[in-house]
Structure 1
């Protein structure tokens, strides 16, 4: 037999944790700090021996966050990409501002979902709303680690606003 109060408390704790996973917090540098002070040239510079630019990483995050938000908001599965390369849009010089703004627009779309009382409801045949949000948060955090490494490799870390240097 399950304790309904415990389920409610667990869901509230998860809802409080989700924004921290998307934005950063005590455990890692926040996304705003990780993206701050980057020029278009820096954001589109690919360091030697690394596969992506900061702008390319953020465009990839945007692709998946948009895809998963569409599933949550439409309540049905979206076609899965045929190739991983399909989720890595090309980002040309001069597009950094657009890519960064899209990231923040998608983040704003995520916020109301993190506070939903129905996180345990299925959104498709395989996952719940909460599972999709957690997947999005972990994917975003994973690639923001790469954003920081890429910034370090091009000599653009830490940002002027601060950030851990270790």
Structure 2
């Protein structure tokens, strides 16, 4: 191996660091978060479709709760207690809250961006999890709930967004 060629671990780390932001933001494999939220007014964002348990605003507030929890762990470098009840991670949201909830989502996403290419992704941070595992887990959590955002928008007749989006 030459000095100019990264070893296998470094290449894997680089690939993982490139993948993480895509998992949080979407894009090629699934509709990006910006597109999923675009053109959504506060009343529509806060409305629950019949037969579905959450509104878009509630889903995004839930993602915010968990992303903030994860970032606090990473940035403080210590484990935090897990919530006692799932309901604790679902804040109540009104139409008036939507601008704040949406802005907070993007602020947290910007904080996540600062951690995705860290050289210490293999370091433990939360019990048995590494920084990289925690980021990947929460990226998948975000992607999961943004799939639900699309479904809620479809059920409300608010899909596709103004910029377009998959309609199948």
TM superposition score normalised by structure 1 = 0.96
In structure 2, distance between residues paired with 1:152 and 1:138: 21
Root-mean-square deviation (CA, aligned residues, Å) is 0.8
> Which residue, 47, 50, 70 being the options, matches 1:48?
50
> Which residue, 139, 143, 146 being the options, matches 1:144?
146
- What is the aligned partner in structure 2 of residue 132 from structure 1? 134
Unaligned runs of 5+ in 1: none
Question: What is the CA deviation profile of residues 31-83 of structure 1, one whole-angstrom value per residue up to 9, with x for unaligned ones?
Answer: 00000000001000000000000000000000000001000000111121110
Report deviation, 1:125: 2.6
Once superposed, which parts of structure 1, at least 4 consecutive aligned residues long, lie more than 4 Å away?
A: none
- What is the aligned partner in structure 2 of residue 108 from structure 1? 110
- What is the aligned partner in structure 1 of residue 81 from structure 2? 79
- What is the aligned partner in structure 2 of residue 68 from structure 1? 70
Unaligned runs of 5+ in 2: 1-5
In structure 2, distance between residues paired with 1:161 and 1:131: 33
> Which residue, 81, 90, 93 being the options, matches 1:91?
93
In structure 1, distance between residues paired with 2:167 and 2:149: 14
TM superposition score normalised by structure 2 = 0.95
Question: What is the CA deviation profile of residues 111-143 of structure 1, one whole-angstrom value per residue up to 9, with x for unaligned ones?
Answer: 010010111111133100000000110000000
In structure 2, distance between residues paired with 1:54 and 1:92: 11
